[in-house]
Structure 1
Amino acid sequence: MTHTPLPVLRLRRDATVTDGRIDTPFGVLPLKQLPPGAAAALTALSTRDTADNELAALVVAGDGEGGLMRWHLLHARLAATGLLEHAVTGPDGQIAARLVPRGRGSTALASWPAGADPVPVRLSRFALLRTEDAVLTLQAPGSHLAVELAPAAASLLGQLGDWTKDLPAPLLRLLATAGLLTRADHGPDGLPADSEATGRGPAQWHPLDLAFHSRTRTPAAASGYGGTYPGKARFEPEPAAAPLGDGPRITLDTPDLDQVAARDPSLTQVLEARTSRRAHDDELPLTVEQLAELLYRTLRIRSVFTGSDGQELADRPYPSGGAVHELEVYPLVTSCRGLDPGLYRYAADRHELEHVAVPGPATAALVKEARDAAMMRTDPQVVLLVAARFGRVMWKYETVAYPLILKHVGVLYQTLYLTAEAMGLAACGLGGGDTTAFAAATGRDPLLEGSVGELVIGSRAPEPAESAPEPAAAAAAEG
């Protein structure tokens, strides 16, 4: 791209012009009756990429010089409401790069310094490059704008890996408008310095973490947000309860909740006493009856019903957005009285354990990982592997689907923590896990059902007795 790119623009391609209005994915922009020149310019914008001087010529031809002021006001209104796409051409006259809206917000171009000595710039370390509709697309976290790149412009990205002044200003202006560039500050040695690497705000974020945070917490930057049903047109909703597995099933005892309520400490006592307990009583391990009670009180499906959207929903002891309840729990048993070691799945609709796998290298890896994460001296008696059936959430929710799953993991952790505390058990939530190891142990497709949390459960080790004072110290105390 050694030539000077020609800036052009057009109406965003998902907008349509009808009599007196522009229909967009985000609503309708009403238009007063336009004079012939302005109407011709708007028609040109809605059908092809057009240069500013060509638009001005259409306006003048229909409305005279006096029509330009009204056209400029309409142009500014279109940009402010995010209805314009800006582009630059390549050496072949074809579009090389295009600034496109991906959400809601202005598409007005950023100001760009003119002059013989421009400021050095380089690509932001947060910029994300991906293929979208067979086109290379760059987007910055939190930005409602993206830049589509044709090969003529994509080949220049390597130059933006370091400070440069040599790229065409119209192209850099598109990238800057989308928030994809960082400008050089002067470092103490006089060389260019990057504020993204030195400022505490940007420096503390990993690009993928910031992209995830911004995508899920900036609704204006996404084309769809919330309950948009992105999967409804392609897939049937998954049932509330997971289908039966192939392994043997173990029916669990059902606790008497009246007796449970009579013996439980108060909620305040449980909240004040709750702590992460990593020490298990290896002489007196957890029993299958205790595990059954814990699972029943925290995870069972109390009822199933059909929502207004046709999706089967569930009621369980902990909350879930939209009542989708996508979480499944797999007890990985090392030592539990009345239950053979191995990996099981808790069938929440039937209060049963389904046998998934016997102990082996894959389950051993999961046990070791949990032991190391909890900093335990011995293997945990039971590891509750929390998995998500992603389609339960992603069928309905867009953009917020995965963070919603993580919120569900959090409330499940607290429900398990408090119930275990009330039962006198040891519970310890873990901060990370390995979905690859989970897939190996369960045989589940990690894109359909993958692990999203882990919590260690066991019998509570006796509290250490207070040490008796040394004789000299005791004598001194008596004195």
Structure 2
Amino acid sequence: MNPIIVSRLRRDASFSGEHIRFAATVRELKNLSQGQGTALKLLAEGDQDDAALAAAVTTADGEAGLLRWHMLFRRLNTSGLIEHAVQVDGDVTARLYPVGRGSTLPVAAPAGPVRLSRFAEARVVDGTLTLRASGHHLAVELMPRATGLLGELATWNTGTPAPLLRLFATAGLLAPGGPDEDLETTERSYAQWHPADLAFHSRTRFPATVGGYGGTYPLGDRFPPEPVSPPPSGLRTVALPVPDLDEIAATEPSFTEILERRGSTRAHDDETPITLAQLGELLYRSLRRRGTMTGSDGQRLANRPYPSGGSVHELEVYPLVTACEGLPAGLWHYATDRHELELVAEPGKATDVLVRESRNAAMMETDPQVVLLVTARFGRVMWKYETVAYPLVLKHVGVLYQTLYLVATAMDLAVCGLGGGDAAAFATASGRDPLLEGTVGELVLGSRPRTEG
């Protein structure tokens, strides 16, 4: 076995004349020599080793043409236009390719023991096992005969062939340091990150390392956009009174006072619970649908009191009521377009789990009067957005939290946002498919205790 590194033009590129085209980009190559043109045609056809490329250049340009070719080949690598693979007995075992923007120039194989970084992740991409490191713009495909490397590289070892190590090191897949100085556990910049958290952060905050950043419509050619509001689905409905916003504005404290008073209250006045009118006012002022419009892409958009990227407004709120004057207990859904509540589930074991978990999360001594369960209809966002889709949902949860906090403070209600929740428990209680609509936030709400200022 004699592994060697071979190269080819990146998979989404083509060469013709003096131009390399890839994606929506055209790279012009001026004054190509005959040998350079021949070598580029070979790279466009498939994997070539350095000897074959050098022979093509020297045949046409002589030995003097090799330096110019090496300089051009390096520029193509630094522009991310070349893929590299390890070939054994004519068969490719691993391939390095770009998934973002940056150089594909292979680095030297590290000396001494090596192992996989704990930030490396393996997944199936287009039928091939693919390795990526968080925050890196390159990936390595592993063919079946090379998958045993993953087990070998799980611990520090010295037996991996150098050509494979070059590909892994170039893609950032190897741990820095060594068995006696493992930087991933001794350096704070590495140690403080859980691999899943760093992968999420890197994917969404380093656009040069990923594709599909922004509004790419990944599902646009397969599914229609979801409707702006979910269809009515409750067991029965309760109409909510519409508050007089002009009257409220004339008597309410100033915004500065509300902002300064805002805080989390983890106790409720059990003798005088929140009322239906108060719950309705909070929901109306915080997230009612004020209007709709059609975007240039054909998706129906909404206008609500809080901001939403692209005006998609994928968030829904399900009040889980244990004590509310004028409203029976149960799991309800707030219909933002009709300003009414729909009963989703009667009180029972499934809703009891949600109440208990919220009570524990808020560290309350008694059950919260209302739990506002915030869900996302994921398709509203993921139809348009790709890399930024889920972080956009979380941003929306944050602005909705603050909106609910400020309105509740203005109304002198007790509110407390929770740091986590159980999407599986909500799916059981509501019957909703958690991959289509699942909880992404929770707040407890109720009347403010008399001892609270």
Instruction: State the partner residue of 1:233.
Output: 221
* Residue identity matched to 2:78: A
Q: Are 2:144 and 1:146 aligned? A: no
Instruction: State the partner residue of 1:80.
Output: 78
The answer to whether the 8 Å contact 1:17/1:46 transfers is yes
User: 1:39-54, aligned counterparts within 5 Å?
Assistant: 39-54=37-52
Instruction: State the partner residue of 2:322.
Output: 334
Q: Are 2:174 and 1:160 aligned? A: no
The answer to whether the 8 Å contact 1:391/1:448 transfers is yes
User: Which residue, out of 114, 128, 131, partners 2:124?
Assistant: 131
User: Which residue, out of 86, 95, 103, partners 1:98?
Assistant: 95
Instruction: State the partner residue of 1:195.
Output: 183
1:112 to partner: Cα distance = 2.7
The 3-state SS of whatever aligns with 2:185 is helix
Q: Are 2:408 and 1:420 aligned? A: yes
* Residue identity matched to 1:419: V
User: Which residue, out of 11, 14, 37, partners 1:13?
Assistant: 11
CA distance in 2, matches of 1:464, 1:130: 52
CA distance in 1, matches of 2:177, 2:223: 48
| TM-aligned CA distance change 1:22 to 1:12, over 3 Å | same
The answer to whether the 8 Å contact 1:120/1:183 transfers is no
Give the number of the structure whose alpha-carbon radius of gyration is greater: 1
User: 1:317-466, aligned counterparts within 5 Å?
Assistant: 317-463=305-451
Instruction: State the partner residue of 1:250.
Output: 238
The alignment covers a number of residue pairs equal to 453
The 3-state SS of whatever aligns with 2:48 is coil
The answer to whether the 8 Å contact 1:120/1:184 transfers is no
CA distance in 1, matches of 2:367, 2:181: 50
CA distance in 2, matches of 1:413, 1:228: 28
The 3-state SS of whatever aligns with 1:71 is helix
Instruction: State the partner residue of 1:31.
Output: 29
1:93 to partner: Cα distance = 2.3
1:199 to partner: Cα distance = 0.6
The 3-state SS of whatever aligns with 2:153 is helix
Q: What percentage of aligned pairs have identical amino acids?
A: 62
Listed one character per residue, the Cα deviations across residues 363-411 of structure 1 (whole Å, up to 9, x for unaligned) are 1111011000000000000000000000111111110100000000000
Instruction: State the partner residue of 1:472.
Output: none
Instruction: State the partner residue of 1:473.
Output: none
The answer to whether the 8 Å contact 2:176/2:184 transfers is no
CA distance in 2, matches of 1:45, 1:277: 66
Listed one character per residue, the Cα deviations across residues 59-90 of structure 1 (whole Å, up to 9, x for unaligned) are 11111112112211210111011011010013
CA distance in 2, matches of 1:40, 1:447: 51
1:247 to partner: Cα distance = 1.8
- Give the alignment's Cα RMSD to 1 decimal: 1.2
Instruction: State the partner residue of 1:298.
Output: 286
CA distance in 2, matches of 1:26, 1:52: 29
The answer to whether the 8 Å contact 2:234/2:333 transfers is no
Q: TM-score, normalised by structure 2?
A: 0.98
The 3-state SS of whatever aligns with 1:161 is coil
| TM-aligned CA distance change 1:173 to 1:271, over 3 Å | same
The answer to whether the 8 Å contact 1:4/1:168 transfers is no
* Residue identity matched to 1:85: E
User: 1:51-62, aligned counterparts within 5 Å?
Assistant: 51-62=49-60
Listed one character per residue, the Cα deviations across residues 402-436 of structure 1 (whole Å, up to 9, x for unaligned) are 00000000000000000000001000000000110
| TM-aligned CA distance change 1:287 to 1:298, over 3 Å | same
Q: Are 2:168 and 1:170 aligned? A: no
CA distance in 1, matches of 2:19, 2:342: 59
The 3-state SS of whatever aligns with 2:175 is strand
1:354 to partner: Cα distance = 0.7
Listed one character per residue, the Cα deviations across residues 122-149 of structure 1 (whole Å, up to 9, x for unaligned) are 0000100000000000000010100000
* Residue identity matched to 2:65: G
Gap runs ≥5 in structure 1: 186-190, 466-479
* Residue identity matched to 1:401: A
Gap runs ≥5 in structure 2: none
Q: TM-score, normalised by structure 1?
A: 0.93
User: Which residue, out of 174, 191, 203, partners 1:181?
Assistant: 174
1:251 to partner: Cα distance = 1.1
Moved >4 Å (runs of 4+): none
1:263 to partner: Cα distance = 1.9
1:184 to partner: Cα distance = 3.5
CA distance in 2, matches of 1:22, 1:223: 19
CA distance in 2, matches of 1:461, 1:78: 68
1:183 to partner: Cα distance = 3.8
1:26 to partner: Cα distance = 5.4
1:163 to partner: Cα distance = 0.7
1:464 to partner: Cα distance = 6.4
CA distance in 1, matches of 2:177, 2:284: 59
CA distance in 2, matches of 1:446, 1:93: 47
1:192 to partner: Cα distance = 2.5
The 3-state SS of whatever aligns with 1:354 is strand
* Residue identity matched to 1:106: S
